[in-house]
Amino acid sequence: MRIFEILAIGLWVVNVEILILLLPVLIGYLLFTYYSYMYAPKLMLLLNFLVIISEMVIEIYDLSFNIANGIRSLVGMICITVVSTVYANAQKVDKDTDSTTIYENASLRIVLDCANGACYKVSPEIFEELGAEVIALGDNPDGYNINQGCGSTHPELIKKEVIKHRADYGISLDGDGDRVILVDEKGSILDGDDLLYILAFSNPNRTGPWSGVVGTLMSNLGLEDGIKKLGYKFKRADVGDKYVSKMLADKGWMLGGETSGHIICKDLVSTGDGTIAALKVISSLLLLEKKPSEILSNYNKIPQVNKAVPVFNKDIINDKDLKNLIKEIESDMTVGRLLVRPSGTESKIRIMVEAPEKRVAEKFAADIEKLIKSKL
C-alpha cells in the first residue's frame, strides 16, 4: 500500500509541473482565438493586400526575366555575327598566307644540311612538299657520322654550298634536329640571335604573350638592345634550351632561343625544333618581302669572342687567380660583357667576351685562356 501512495503522489507532482508548463500556451491560444475573432476582417484585408503585392512582385520578376532573356539573346546574336565575320576573315587571311602557297609561289632553292642525323629524311620532304627545290646535304647517316664536319656546328659547309648552287637560303640542322643555323643568299651566316631578331621584327604584336623575348647569358648585347628598341621586354635565362623554356613558361611569353640555334616558338611547339624554326623564319621573310640583311641592318651586334678551353676538372672555375683576373677585366670594361662558365656537356671552360672592338675582346679572352691553361 505504501508503494501505491508514493506513485500517486509522484504522478500528481508531475501533472502539476506539466500543467504549469502548458499554462502559458493555453493562455496564448485563448488570446489568439479572441483577437482573431474580433479583428478577422482587418486581418483578411491585410492578407489579401499581401497576396496582391506578392503577385505583383512575381509578375515584375517574370517580366524582368523575359527582358533579360531577350537582351541575352540579342547579345548572343551580335557575338555570333561578330565571331563569324572575324572567323571568315581569318580563314581568308590564312588562305592568302598559307605556307604551302607562300613557298610554291616563291620558287625557292634551298640547301638543307641534315647533319646525318634525326631529320635526314623528314626535313627535305617537308620543304619539297611545300614546293621548294631542295639540295640535301648530310642525308646519309650510318650511325657514326652524325655531326661529323656538317650540321649547325659546321656552318662553313652550307655557306659554301649556298654560294655554289646560288640558293636562296641554306638551312643547317644539328644531329638531333632541335637547333638551326641559316645562311642567306650572300652566304652570310645567321645564328640564333639573328633568327630571334627576325622573328621578333616580323611579329606585329607586342602585348600579352608577345610582350617579351627570352635569350640566354650568351645572347649578344646587341640583340638585347635591338629587341628592346622593337618594343619588347628582354630577359636572359641560363644557357640551355630547358632554361629558356622554363623562363618562357614563367613569364607567359611565346618566343625565345639561344645563340646556338635553339629557337622556341611556343605558339607552334613547346620546345626547340630546327625545321619548324626555319619554316617560320623563311615564311616571315617571304611575307615581309624582305631579305634577312634588310631586317638585320636594324640592329648591331657587339663584337663577341668565344673560346672553349679543355680541362680535366671544371672546378678550376673557382680558382682564386682566375676570379681576380675576371674582376680586373670587368673593371676595365666600360661597354661589353664577360662570362666564364663551365660547360654543361663537356669537360671545358667556356669564355665569352663582348667589347666595342673585336681586338679588345680577343685580348681579354686570350688572357683568360692563358691563365686557365697555366693551371692545368
- What superfamily does domain 192-276+289-296 belong to in CATH? Alpha-D-Glucose-1,6-Bisphosphate, subunit A, domain 3 (3.40.120.10)
pLDDT of residue 80: 38
Helix, strand, coil % (nearest 5) of the chain? Answer: 55, 15, 30
CATH assignment of 304-374, given 3.80.10.10, 3.30.310.50, 1.20.120.450, 3.20.20.10? Answer: 3.30.310.50
DSSP-based three-state secondary structure for 109:
strand
What CATH topology corresponds to 102-189?
Alpha-D-Glucose-1,6-Bisphosphate; Chain A, domain 3 (3.40.120)
CA pair distance 54, 17, nearest whole angstrom: 45
**pLDDT, tens digit only, all 376 positions of the chain:** 444 444 444 444 445 455 555 556 556 655 555 555 555 555 555 555 555 555 565 566 555 555 555 554 444 444 434 333 433 444 443 444 455 555 555 689 999 999 999 999 999 999 999 999 999 999 999 999 999 999 999 999 999 999 999 999 999 999 999 999 999 999 999 999 999 999 999 999 999 999 999 999 999 999 999 999 999 999 999 999 999 999 999 999 999 999 999 999 999 998 999 999 999 999 999 999 999 999 999 999 999 999 999 999 999 999 999 999 999 999 988 888 999 999 888 899 999 999 999 999 999 999 999 999 998 8
- The secondary structure of 137-188, three-state, reads ECCCCCCCCCCCCCCCCCHHHHHHHHHHHCCCEEEEECCCCCCEEEECCCCC
pLDDT of residue 11: 44
Neighbours of 139 (CB within 10 A): 18
Instruction: State the burial class of residue 361 (Cβ atoms within 10 Å of its Cβ: 0-12, 13-18, 19+).
Output: buried
Q: What are phi and psi of 4, to 5 degrees?
A: -65, -35
| Cell 604584336 -> residue | 205
pLDDT of residue 113: 97
pLDDT of residue 54: 56
pLDDT of residue 70: 53
pLDDT of residue 73: 47
Predicted model pTM: 0.71
pLDDT of residue 96: 46
DSSP-based three-state secondary structure for 336:
coil
